[in-house]
Amino acid sequence: MTVVGDAMVRAVSVRKSYGFFEALRGIDLEVTTGEVLCLIGPSGSGKSTFLRCINHLEKIDGGRLEVAGQLVGYREHNGRMYELRDREVCAKRAEIGMVFQRFNLFPHMTVMDNVTLAPVMVKGESRAAVGDRARALLARVGLADKVDNYPNQLSGGQQQRVAIARALAMQPKLMLFDEPTSALDPELVGDVLDVMRGLAEDGMTMVVVTHEMGFAREVGDTLVFMDAGMVVETGKPREVLANPRSERTKAFLAKVL
């Protein structure tokens, strides 16, 4: 199922603080191309923060973070770090798709415009080509008939699937999911997870912050348990979920399973 390749994401003792609060206290982590990595942990453990660092929505304060072999947000020259210009950061982000807990669809645009906006604007693709691709993507997430609807005319699950299609329309090489099903009614969770499962089967590299242990077990290649800004345990999802080694993982899983 998984094509194992080079490292897509490599984090070496990544640190991030907000004032005196240390959100990330040295994260070491590697995601290989084609891998599905699930991040679990109690709220406030830094999993979302780490995810947001990957596409530079948050600036890291220390350590080293690379995506596809290139530093995130910085350029290294003669041993010195230079901050990237806004335009360069944007170009990097365009290659990384992100799906948010609260969907964040653009409410003043139709579903179609939501999906086609960025490819036309950021990558300068032709409207016609993007339109065809958008229709195909919307059909893939089961929303071919909602093209002309506005987001608030859709259910939460449908909105999240549009959000996935919107991210995929940029043809990213890496997809980040920030608790994609946490804001959904229970009966709508399945449709979204099915779309994500399909993506994983097609070989997309994915980092998924989730509370869906079933999804993590069946779709994930690696499971990472984080607590208090650190990686506590890493392993095959089945093994970690069945036989957690650390006490903290055990305590957490006892509460959520």
Partner 1 sequence: MTTEADARPEASMTAVPVRHPGRWLAAVVVLVLVAMFVHTVTVSKVTRGGKSVHRYEWEVIRSYFLSRQVFDGLVVTLELTVLAMVIGITLGIVVAVLRLSPNPLLSTASWLYIWFFRGTPVYVQLLFWYQIGYLYPRLTLGVPFGPALLHLNANTFITSFVAAMIGLGLNEGAYMAEIVRAGIISVDEGQTEAAQALGMSRLQAMRRVVLPQAMRVIVPPTGNETISMLKTSSLAATISVAELTFSVQTIYARTYRVIPMLMVASFWYLIVTSVLTVGQYYIERYFARGAVRQLPLTPLQKVRGQVARIVMTRRDLPGAPARRR
Pairing relationship of beta strands 174-178 and 205-209 according to DSSP bridges: parallel
Please provide the size of the chain in residues: 257
φ, ψ of residue 209 to 5 degrees: the values are -85, 120
Shortest distance in whole angstroms from residue 118 CB to partner 1: 4
Shortest distance in whole angstroms from residue 122 CB to partner 1: 4
- The Cα 132–Cα 136 span in angstroms is 6
Nearer to partner 1, 14 or 96 (CB): 96
Nearer to partner 1, 14 or 98 (CB): 98
The tokens of 15 are what? 């640190």
Q: What angle do CA 95, 99, 102 make, to 5 degrees?
A: 150
Shortest distance in whole angstroms from residue 103 CB to partner 1: 8
Nearer to partner 1, 71 or 253 (CB): 71
Task: Look at residues 123, 132, 126 and name the one whose alpha carbon lies nearest to residue 172.
Answer: 123
- What 8-state DSSP symbol labels residue 60? -
Using alpha carbons, list the distances in angstroms from residue 155 to 152, 161, 162, 181, 191.
8, 10, 11, 13, 12
Shortest distance in whole angstroms from residue 161 CB to partner 1: 15
Nearer to partner 1, 28 or 61 (CB): 61
Tell me if 215 sits within 8 A of 183, measured CB to CB.
Answer: no
Nearer to partner 1, 74 or 103 (CB): 103
Shortest distance in whole angstroms from residue 62 CB to partner 1: 22
Tell me if 210 sits within 8 A of 181, measured CB to CB.
Answer: yes
Nearer to partner 1, 109 or 228 (CB): 109
Nearer to partner 1, 158 or 249 (CB): 158
Shortest distance in whole angstroms from residue 207 CB to partner 1: 13
Tell me the HSE value of 196 on the side-chain side, using a 13 A CA sphere. Answer: 35
Shortest distance in whole angstroms from residue 106 CB to partner 1: 6
Where along the sequence are the contacts to partner 1 (CB under 8 A)?
Answer: 55, 57, 86-87, 90-91, 93-98, 100, 102, 104-109, 117-118, 121-123, 150-153, 163, 166-167, 170
Which of 5-21 are b and which e, b meaning 16 or more Cβ less than 10 Å from the residue's Cβ? eebbbbbeebbbeeeee
